[in-house]
Amino acid sequence: MQITVTVNGTGYTREVEARLLLIHFLRDELRLTGSHWGCDTSNCGACVVWLDGTPVKSCTVLAAMADGRQVRTVEGLARDTRLDPVQRGFAECHGLQCGFCTPGMMMTARWLLDHNPAPTAEEVREVLSGQLCRCTGYENIVRSVLWAAEHEGDQ
Amino acid sequence: MTSAYGRLPRKEDARFVRGLGTFTDDVALPGMLHGAILRSPLAHARIISVDTTAAEAHPKVRVVITGAMLEQRQLAWMPTLSRDVQAVLATDKVRFQGQEVAFVVAEDPYAARDALELIDVEYEPLPVVADATRALDPDAPVIRDDLAGQRDNHIFDWSAGDQAATDAAFAAADVIVRQDMLYPRSHPAPLETCGTVADLDPVSGKLTVWCTSQAPHAHRTMYALLAGLPEHKIRIISPDIGGGFGNKVPIYPGYLCAVVGSMLTGKPVKWMEDRSENLMSTAFARDYHMHGEIAATRDGRILGLRAQVLADHGAFNGSAQPTKFPAGFFHIFTGSYDLRAAHCTVTGVYTNKAPGGVAYSCSFRIAEGVYLVERMVDLLAAELDLDPAELRMQNLLRPEQFPYTGPTGWEYDSGDYPRALRLALDMAGYDKLRAEQAEKRAQGEHMGIGLSFFTEGVGAGPRKHMDILGLSMNDGADLRVHPTGTAVLGISCQTQGQGHETTFAQLVAEELGLSPADVEVVHGDTDRTPFGLGTYGSRSTPVSGAAAVVAARKVRERARIVAAAMLEAAPEDLEWADGRWQVRGDPEQGRTIPEIAMAAHSGLDLPAGVDGHLDAGTVYNPPNLTYPYGAYICVIDLDPGTGEVRVRRFVAVDDCGVRINPMIVEGQLHGGLADGVGMALMQAITYDTDGNCLGGSFMDYLLPTSVECPSWELGETVTPCPHHPVGAKGVGESATVGSPAAVVNAVMDALRPFGVRHADMPLTPANVWSAMQGRPVRTDLSDS
């Protein structure tokens, strides 16, 4: 089947199998490999991207379901060459080690800050609780998101 | 000159925060094909037939590889890291659920999966040994009938310590406390699963393997020995690795199948396992059935310790540890205490479960040893009605006892244990916590306070004692200094998130008076880096880091000779100060490494001892392991209505010697503490009596999330390692090794009013509830 998906502002039209998962569409068809696949069961969140502005686990979304819709991935976080405060926060606060969960974590964090510009540490933990990190014990991820909230307006 | 050490943000992060890391699954080569593995649904069965006709007829399938095909090429079996063999693809029998039976190579990964459904395998089911405690029963089916002379499921017996002295210590004791405990089977579950892209160039004969490997050089040598390929025609590239924790040390059947697939098709072949394959078939950890005995005087002086262990190694002995140590370093199980005598025995057995054994940040089984002794000390405290902190303080090794040779032969290098414990107690506000607990108990509320004190021996290791498959556990470093004074360091260890690109640059920069920004670290490519055994067992900084420093110091000494020529002074009249060589007593006369490097490459008449550049390399053979330690305190709240445990606080004081980048050290500690909470409260790979794996997805194998983890409270003391060039000790596994006992001790502390003495991990609400009702908790077999 033919689908047209807008990813990070660019429209892509592709012929795909109906069963193709969105994560594989992004990674294998569009070669946007920043989003990762980690579990198949919607537990780990390494594959989180935005679909029409809402974070989804793209391992359990069919590419066909994204037809005619807007997807935003980690590759679309920075504006031109300017990193998003969330990206800067993760680097600033050692919010990542192996870097595998990081794109998904950042996409959820960006969504949180868009809806709650000054979250508490508990609110950050709650919103990230559907995602797994095996390296950081979450402490510095929480700090990274709080750092980003504080530096949202920085130029 | 400011130090290059410190909280330097990581060089790696620039690519990762942009989504521009390159993980193995991100590698895409022209014409690349995709592999998928057909796995056994049964834990133990004879293979009657494998019919691949329909799969081969699939329009997108290029080749289907079976055990029979591999047998013709003498590739059906491969050596494990414990000198056993493991089936690449099963030929005679399957021996665990999820074992590899056939490998499909197809044009896309979905088609490869489809074709698996078209393979028809006929099995004759055999009786299953899923319970290690039954593996040595006389009527137990023999799992490894492929091994000549193997008539039972016994792998090895091993012991350490002085049995007679231990018996004497026990005979002199007022109190002896005994306890059986299981350290359940766990899985490292890195977020990136294992996988590879194998590309055999049919023209040059060169095999390039992109792989999720923690030990690319060791893998290269093993491929050469295994497949008969000349080693210089093999290049292993470990690109960015999405966590390892020990899971990515062994060679897995899928890697070899991808290589064979590339040989047969002439195309690159990618194989990435899915999460269930990762959890069900790759290196597990722990699975130690332990019996502990501790002997003491009535006033709390610990005299002796005994342990008998039944070690479940699964269907193939694929445990990864130094050759001389079949139970790893478990025998450091006397921990941090001044004991008279200790003795342990370990018996390894085969079961119809996935192979592995040493994986998951255990520092070669020290995790199991620490858990045993820290539970025994708490049980002793309960028996003697002593405070567990006081009992520990009373028995900890004292600073003046270092270097200390323990009753099982370990030579602890340095430590001030009481200081670390006092700091942890202060940070936690221990006395206040006990007062709060007493108040709460009076009101029928249940909180628990648990301690653990651990010592590890990490940084394997001295070549006299430690090798894997005959390869000494040493690591190389090559340091090149460019004419303009920037440097490239090639290292043999392999980051999986530890930040080597940053830390190792700091190590070299500190030695040469450079900025870490001017030192590029190359790793993960066997064609571009020196030989070494890789990253696991917390060995990067102790071994490879030491190699980097030694190489940098060699460069510095070469630079001294050139600088002397530049300054028209004798080399012995120069001193290294403020990051440059200068004339002793005349600090105005000095040269920096960039100045010297340019001179070394110039027309300067070079003195003897240098030959046109400053480059240097080395191989580091550590004189001893390094011995990091720590004092941990966990505070939990128990809901007596549900059995749910909530970790309220976790205080961790670690001493890992000199910290090169404290930010990175703390990050690794955070991650290890989360592992400890996970293992103590939720993680376990269990099997039913038919050998069905019950932890085969993240729906069943529960890992801690941000809401199960508290905000970690870290403290540090610094006792430099006396034999490491910069005084550093390994730290990557400290928290994973040390923390589970603190959590379990906290839960048992909370359960004391219920008369509970011990319950095994994972302390899920159901298991805690069972313990509260006085029912036995068994986590090894779910339906028995």
Q: Domain end: A59, A76, A93, which one?
A: A76
Looking at the structure, do residues A56 and A96 belong to the same domain, yes or no?
no
Residue B773 burial class via C-beta count within 10 angstroms: exposed 0-12, middle 13-18, buried 19 and up: exposed
% of chain A at pLDDT higher than 70: 99
Which of A99, A128, A137 is the closest to B21 by Cβ?
A99
Cβ neighbours of B206 (radius 10 Å): 16
- Is the distance from CB of B412 to CB of B336 less than 8 angstroms? no
CA distances from B329 to A69, B56, B318, B356, B576 (A): 55, 48, 16, 16, 40
CB-CB under 8 Å, A78 with B670: no
**What does DSSP say about strands B341-349 and B302-312: parallel, antiparallel, or unpaired?**
parallel
- Tell me if B671 and A134 make a contact (CB, 8 A cut-off): yes
Distance from A130 to chain B by nearest Cα, in Å?
A: 7
- DSSP run (H or E) holding B662: helix B662-681
Between A6-10, A77-81, B73-77, the lowest mean confidence (pLDDT) is in A77-81
Closest to B617 (Cα-Cα) out of B471, B470, B492 = B492
Q: Is residue A17's pLDDT more than 70? A: yes
Q: Which of residues 13-72 of B touch A (CB under 8 A)?
A: 13-23, 25-26, 28
Note whether B189 contacts A: Cβ–Cβ < 8 A: yes
* Residue B303 and residue B236 share a domain: no
- Which are the contacts of A115, defined by CB distance < 8 A and separation ≥ 6? none
- Chain A residue numbers with beta carbons less than 8 Å from the beta carbon of B672 are 137
Indicate yes or no: CB of A36 within 8 angstroms of CB of B192. yes
Q: Which of B681, B777, B69, B684 lies closest to B353 in space, CA to CA?
A: B684
- Does B362 lie in the same domain as B337? yes
CATH number of the domain at A44, please.
Answer: 3.10.20.30
Q: What is the CA radius of gyration of chain B?
A: 27
* pLDDT exceeds cutoff 70 at B783: no
CA distance to A44, B388, B672, B707, B708, per residue, from A128 (Å): 10, 36, 19, 8, 11
pLDDT tens for each residue of A57-104:
999 999 999 999 999 999 999 998 899 999 999 999 999 999 999 999
Residues B376 and B514 in one domain: no
Task: Compute the mean pLDDT over every residue in chain B, rounded to the nearest whole number.
Answer: 96
Q: What is the pLDDT of residue B779?
A: 55
| Residue of B109, B499, B674 with shortest CB distance to A138 | B674
Q: CB distance B17–A83 less than 8 Å?
A: yes
Say which amino acid occupies B369.
Answer: G
Q: How many CA atoms are closer than 13 Å to the CA of B678, on its beta-carbon side?
A: 31
In which residue are the tokens 């880091």 written?
B545
A121:B711 CB<8 A: yes
**How does DSSP assign B431-460, residue by residue?**
HHHHHHHHHHHHTT-EEEEEEEEEE--BS-
* Whether the predicted model's global pTM rises above the 0.95 cut: yes
pLDDT computed for residue B375 by the predictor: 98
Q: Is B24 a domain residue? A: yes
Asked if B531 contacts B452 with a C-beta cutoff of 8 angstroms, the reply is: no
Whether the per-residue pLDDT at B277 is higher than 80: the answer is yes
A104-145 pLDDT tens trace: 999 999 999 999 999 999 999 999 999 999 999 999 999 999
**B671:A126 CB<8 A:** no
Judged by CB atoms closer than 8 Å, whether chains meet at B243 and A44 is answered as no
Alpha-carbon span B295 to B178, nearest angstrom: 9
> Does a structural domain hold residue B163?
no
Answer whether residue B218 is part of any domain: yes
A134, A136, A142, A145: best mutation site toward chain B, by most B Cβ within 10 Å? A134
Q: Is B497 on the interface with A (CB under 8 A)?
A: yes
**A99 in the same domain as A48:** no
Chain A interface includes B663 (CB < 8 A): yes
Looking at residue B774, what is its pLDDT? Answer: 87
Please report the residues numbered 269 through 288 in chain B whose beta carbons come closer than 8 angstroms to any beta carbon of chain A. 274-276
CA dihedral B393, B398, B402, B406 (to 10 degrees): -50
Query: The domain containing residue A60 runs over which residues?
Result: 2-76
**Same domain membership, residue B661 and residue B592:** no
Domain of B292 in residue numbering reads as 284-387+415-460+624-772
Cβ–Cβ gap A140/B670 under 8 Å:
yes
- How far lies B515's CA from each of B311, B373, B472, B622, in Å? 48, 44, 33, 27
- Same structural domain, A7 and A44: yes
Three-state SS at B357: strand
Tens-place pLDDT, residues B403-437: 999 999 999 999 999 999 999 999 999 999 999 99
Minimum distance, in Å, between the CA of residue B505 and any CA atom of chain A: 17
pLDDT for B778 equals: 60
Across the interface, whether the CB atoms of B190 and A34 are under 8 A apart is answered no
Q: What is the pLDDT of residues B572-601, one digit of tens each?
A: 999 999 999 999 999 999 999 999 999 999
B190 and A32: CB-CB below 8 Å? no
Q: Do A40 and B672 touch (CB under 8 A)?
A: no
Taking the C-alpha atoms of residue B47 and residue B49, their distance in angstroms, rounded to an integer, is 6
Is B539 in the same domain as B588?
yes
Residues B504-547 have pLDDT tens digits of 999 999 999 999 999 999 999 999 999 999 999 999 999 999 99
Q: Which residues of A touch B703 (CB under 8 A)?
A: 132, 134
* Tens-digit pLDDT profile for residues B107-158: 999 999 999 999 999 999 999 999 999 999 999 999 999 999 999 999 999 9
Query: Hey, what amino acid is at A155?
Result: Q
Is B23 within 8 Å of A126 when comparing Cβ atoms? no
CB contact under 8 A, B671 and A97: yes
Residues A68 and A91 in one domain: no
A43/B698 Cβ within 8 A: yes
Whether B468 is in a domain gets the answer no
Q: Do B663 and A94 touch (CB under 8 A)?
A: yes
Is the minimum CB–CB distance between B438 and chain A shorter than 8 Å? Answer: no
For chain A, the domain total comes to 2
B9 contacts A129? CB cut-off 8 A: no
User: Does A155 fall in a domain?
Assistant: no
Band (pLDDT 50/70/90 cuts) for residue B359 is confident
Q: How far is B573 from chain A (nearest CA, A)?
A: 44
> pLDDT value at position B782?
43
Interface test with A, best of B705, B707, B731 (most A CBs within 10 A): B705
pLDDT at A155: 60
Phi-psi label, residue B310: left if phi above 0, alpha if psi -120 to 50, beta otherwise: beta
Q: Determine the pLDDT at residue B357.
A: 76
Sorting pLDDT into bands at 50, 70 and 90, what band is B226? confident
End-to-end CA, chain B: 66
Identify whether A107 is part of a domain.
yes
Q: Are residue B588 and residue B669 in the same domain, yes or no?
A: no
Q: Please tell me if residue B243 touches chain A, with a CB cutoff of 8 Å.
A: yes
Between CA B390 and CA B388 the distance in angstroms is 5
Rounded-to-integer distance, Cα B208 and Cα B526, Å: 10
Query: B10, B11, B12, B16: which to substitute to probe chain A, counting the most A Cβ within 10 Å?
Result: B16
Say whether both B259 and B288 belong to one domain: no
Chain A partners within 8 Å of B191 (Cβ): 36, 38, 44, 46, 98, 100-101, 132-134
SS3 per residue for A20-55: CEHHHHHHHHCCCCCCCCCCCCCCCCCCEEEECCEE
Task: Please classify residue A114 by burial: count the beta carbons closer than 10 Å to its beta carbon, then call 0-12 exposed, 13-18 middle and 19+ buried.
Answer: exposed
Contact B497 A97 (CB under 8 A): yes
Summarize pLDDT for B660-688 with one digit per residue, the tens.
999 999 999 999 999 999 999 999 999 99
- CB distance B237 to B210 below 8 Å: yes
Q: Residue A52: count other Cβ atoms within 10 Å of its Cβ.
A: 12
pLDDT of residue B241: 98
Residue B777 pLDDT: 67
What's the mean pLDDT in B459-485?
A: 96
Alpha-carbon gap: B520 to the closest alpha carbon of chain A (Å) = 18
Query: Chain B residue with minimal CA distance to A18?
Result: B110
B697 to chain A, minimum CA–CA distance in Å? 8
> Is A123 found in the same domain as A100?
yes
Closest by Cα among B220, B241, B239 to B231? B220
Looking at residue B682, which CATH number applies to its domain? 3.30.365.10
Smallest Cβ distance to B191: which of A34, A106, A134? A134
Pairing of strands A70-72, A2-7: parallel
pLDDT digits (tens, 9 = 90+) for B745-755: 999 999 999 99
Phi, psi of B26 (to 5 degrees): -85, -10
The reply to whether B149 falls in a domain is no
Q: Taking Cα atoms as reference points, which of B449, B459, B418 lies closest to residue B717?
A: B418
Inside any domain, residue B397: no
Those residues with Cβ within 8 angstroms of residue A37's Cβ, 6 or more apart along the chain or in another chain: A23, A24, A27, A46, A47, A59, B25
CA distance A153 to A88: 13
Q: Tell if the CB–CB gap between A136 and B667 is shorter than 8 Å.
A: yes
**Same domain for B235 and B332?**
no
| Size (chain B), residues | 784
Contacts of B433 (CB under 8 A, 6+ apart): B449, B635
Full DSSP string of B743-782: HHHHHHHHHGGGT----PSP--HHHHHHHHTT-----SBT
Identify whether residues B78 and B223 lie together within a single domain.
Answer: yes
Give chain B's domain count: 3
Shared domain check, A71 and A15: yes
The DSSP line for B83-110 is S-EEESS-SSEE-STT-EEEEEEESSHH
Residue A137 and residue A92 in one domain = yes
Reading the block at residue B103, the tokens are 């490998």
Question: Cα distance from A12 to chain B (closest Cα, Å)?
Answer: 20
Rounded CA-CA distance B7/B760 in Å is 39
Window B:665-684, CB contacts with A under 8 Å? 666-675
pLDDT of residue B781: 46
* Whether residue B631 is found in the same domain as residue B763: yes
Verify that A49 and A104 share a domain, yes or no.
no
**Using CA atoms, how far apart are residues B488 and B528, in angstroms rounded to an integer?**
11
Residues of B in contact with A37 (CB under 8 A): 25
Q: What is the ipTM of this complex?
A: 0.98
- B455 part of a folded domain: yes
Distance of CA B450 to the CA centre of its chain: 25
Cβ contact A39–B275 (<8 Å): yes
User: Angle B633-B660-B615 (CA atoms, 0-180°, nearest 5)?
Assistant: 155
Nearest-CB residue to B26 (from A33, A41, A44): A33
Neighbour count for residue B684 (Cβ, 10 Å): 27
* Domain contains B54: yes
Q: Is B89 within 8 Å of B70 (Cβ atoms)? A: yes
Where does residue B173 fall: left (phi above 0), alpha (psi -120 to 50 degrees), or beta otherwise?
Answer: beta
Question: Which among B16, B19, B673 has CB closest to A73?
Answer: B19
In a domain, A96, yes or no: yes
Q: What count of CB pairs under 8 Å joins A to B?
A: 177
Option in B22, B663, B674 nearest A137 (CB): B674
Strand order in the sheet with B207-211: B61-66, B100-106, B33-39, B269-272, B195-200, B207-211, B234-237
d(CA A90, CA A147): 8
Query: Do residue B638 and residue B611 come from a single domain?
Result: no
